[in-house]
Amino acid sequence: MIKALIFDFDGTIIDTETAWYAAFREAYQQYEVELTLEMYSRCIGTSLHVFNPYEYLMTDLGLPIDKESFASAVRVRHAELMSREQVRPGVADYLEQARERGLKIGLATSSKRDWIDEHMERLGIGHYFECISTADDVARVKPDPELYLRTLAGLGVEAHEAVALEDSPNGAKAAVAAGIPCVLAPNEITWTLAFPSEGILCRVNRLSELAFETLVTEASGV
């Protein structure tokens, strides 16, 4: 019996990732460097230790760029793009129906807490979440399962009693490693990436394509 939903944040609840990729790609083009999706995807849904788009031009290509100015320009452009973004289709409906059915709702994100709080306040959805686990709470972020294991413990449910909602391969790997069935709802940036095949309940373009009752029925039969 399903007792909880655990959401990823960036790319799943709100599409921050398309805006980040666009902002970085534009910044790279100023130096006549093409930032491919293949390169950028290495840091989606995880930390920047594998590929750091803020530092690549300087550390790997050796370009004489002021890191702080570069990073500031990228963040300003990202903020401009994000000012128009709202929750992805189906997310608000899932949150409301989960609460009405008495399901527990958690958040497991590789982002830092101040970033999450900023957007939660703007979107007005923070009150739905009983447990929020961020990069500030764990030693290892996704694809390591620690964020999901912490959230399960905070909600007081077992892995088989929860469903994870993810948009990225790293996030899906983390959920599956924690033993949680996963629904994939990739965004424009993550759609073409390679996802794990095991532990996936279903894959949709957006959560609005999957009726909440269908999710509950399928997840309860796992």
Per-residue pLDDT tens digits for 46-90: 666 778 889 899 988 999 999 999 999 999 999 898 888 899 999
Question: So what's the pLDDT on residue 111?
Answer: 92
Average pLDDT over residues 162-191: 94
Name every residue whose Cβ is closer than 8 Å to that of residue 17 and which is 6 or more positions away in sequence.
Answer: 10, 11, 44, 167, 168, 187, 189, 190
**Taking all residues of the chain, what is their mean pLDDT, rounded to a whole number?**
92
pLDDT digits (tens, 9 = 90+) for 29-43: 999 999 998 888 888
Q: What's the CA gap between 45 and 42, in Å, rounded? A: 9
Q: What is the pTM of this model?
A: 0.86
How far does CA 218 lie from the centroid of its chain? 23
Q: What's the CA gap between 70 and 78, in Å, rounded? A: 12
Whether the predicted pLDDT of 16 surpasses 90: no
Q: What angle do CA 86, 90, 94 make, to 5 degrees?
A: 110
Higher pLDDT: 44 or 125? It is 125
The position carrying tokens 């764990």 is 138
> What residues does each domain of the chain span?
4-15+87-220, 16-82
Question: So what's the pLDDT on residue 214?
Answer: 93
Question: So what's the pLDDT on residue 72?
Answer: 95
At residue 126, φ and ψ (nearest 5 deg) are -60, -30
Closest CA to 91 of 204, 174, 169: 204
Reduce the DSSP state of residue 105 to 3 states and report it. strand
Q: Which residues face 163 on adjacent strands? A: 5
Active site residues: 8, 10
CB atoms within 10 A of CB 176: 23
Whether the predicted pLDDT of 118 surpasses 80: yes
Q: In this prediction, what percent of the chain has a pLDDT beyond 70?
A: 97
Q: What's the CA gap between 41 and 105, in Å, rounded? A: 27
DSSP one-letter code for 87: B
Q: Which amino acid is present at 110?
A: S
Name every residue whose Cβ is closer than 8 Å to that of residue 60 and which is 6 or more positions away in sequence.
Answer: none
Q: Which CATH code fits 4-15+87-220?
A: 3.40.50.1000
DSSP one-letter code for 32: T
